[in-house]
């Protein structure tokens, strides 16, 4: 493969030598993705990698104008491809699971934050955290609409990708962001009415 400077990569990817530059870039992305994701994919590795490389190349070409030369072009390109692949893997993880299943555990109970199973927490800390979580959950149940509750629990508590939650809720990322923003505003208002601030909640988990 031809060694290129950042400027050469940009010039060739935009000019008549684009096919050759894309072929070289494709090889680089494929090797990088195999290293980054090889242990996360159990089957159809070659086929999946080809899909990820194609997605990465499309995103890179769409964002060429945003490259600012603060790193090597190939490092920048690899980062875009890997981030795109991780996003797709997260999406595939949830694709066959209903939204309600996403926010429940296998026993059918609501998600329990890992902080409640912290082995280093003292009995007093555990009691304080449990009380605070009970209060927050009560606010979520009483102050939010069903869609706001689903969005908060899926995105904030369960860390499910916003794109996937938006798809399951038949909305888009911007509308979901607004839904979560409004929900958080409602919760902050209720906290204030009870003499609490978001910082009070965070302090309980320091």
Residue ending a domain, among 59, 94, 129, is 94
Q: Are residues 41 and 125 in the same domain?
A: no
Which of 26-30, 109-113, 167-171 is the least confident region? 109-113
* Distance between CA atoms of residues 67 and 73, nearest Å: 8
For residue 198, what are its two tokens? 């978001």
Total count of domains within the chain: 2
Query: Does the residue 133 lie in any domain?
Result: yes
Query: Does the residue 160 lie in any domain?
Result: yes
Q: Are residues 62 and 118 in the same domain?
A: no
Query: Does the residue 1 lie in any domain?
Result: no
Using the 8-state DSSP alphabet, how is residue 197 labeled?
-
Query: Does the residue 168 lie in any domain?
Result: yes
Answer yes or no: are the C-beta atoms of 142 and 189 closer than 8 Å: no
Which residue reads 């008549």 in tokens?
16
Q: Which CATH number goes with the domain that contains 155?
A: 1.10.10.10
Q: Are residues 171 and 116 in the same domain?
A: yes
Compute the 3-state secondary structure of the chain and give helix, strand, coil in percent, each to the nearest 5. Answer: 75, 0, 25
Quick one: pLDDT band at residue 111, thresholds 50, 70, 90?
Answer: very low
| pLDDT(109) > 50 | no
| pLDDT(87) > 70 | yes
What pLDDT, on the 0 to 100 scale, is given for residue 3? 85
Q: Are residues 159 and 89 in the same domain?
A: no
Query: Does the residue 58 lie in any domain?
Result: yes
Query: Does the residue 22 lie in any domain?
Result: yes
Query: Does the residue 106 lie in any domain?
Result: yes
Structural domain span for residue 52: 6-94
Answer yes or no: are the C-beta atoms of 78 and 32 closer than 8 Å: yes
Q: Are residues 105 and 194 in the same domain?
A: yes
| pLDDT(45) > 80 | no
Q: Which CATH number goes with the domain that contains 67?
A: 1.10.1740.10
Q: pTM of this prediction?
A: 0.49
Q: What is the mean pLDDT of residues 78-95?
A: 79
Query: Does the residue 141 lie in any domain?
Result: yes
Which residue reads 């009691």 in tokens?
127
Q: Are residues 85 and 118 in the same domain?
A: no
pLDDT digits (tens, 9 = 90+) for 54-71: 999 999 999 999 998 889
Q: Are residues 148 and 70 in the same domain?
A: no
């Amino acid at each position: 493969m031809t060694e290129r400077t950042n400027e050469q990569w940009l010039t060739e990817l935009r000019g008549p030598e684009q096919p050759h530059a894309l072929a070289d870039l494709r090889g680089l992305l494929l090797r990088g993705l195999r290293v980054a994701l090889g242990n996360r994919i159990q089957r159809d590795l070659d086929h999946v990698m080809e899909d990820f490389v194609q997605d990465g190349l499309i995103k890179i070409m769409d964002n060429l104008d945003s490259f600012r030369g603060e790193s090597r072009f190939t490092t920048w390109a690899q980062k875009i491809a890997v981030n795109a692949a991780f996003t797709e893997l997260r999406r595939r993880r949830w694709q066959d699971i209903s939204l309600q299943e996403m926010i429940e555990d296998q026993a059918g109970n609501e998600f329990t934050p890992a902080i409640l199973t912290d082995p280093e927490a003292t009995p007093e800390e555990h009691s304080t955290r449990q009380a605070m979580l009970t209060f927050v959950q009560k606010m979520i149940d009483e102050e939010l609409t069903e869609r706001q509750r689903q969005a908060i629990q899926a995105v904030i508590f369960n860390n499910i990708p916003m794109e996937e939650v938006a798809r399951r809720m038949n909305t888009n990322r911007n509308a979901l962001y607004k839904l979560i923003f409004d929900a958080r505003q409602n919760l902050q208002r209720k906290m204030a009415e009870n003499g609490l601030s978001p910082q009070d909640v965070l302090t309980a988990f320091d």
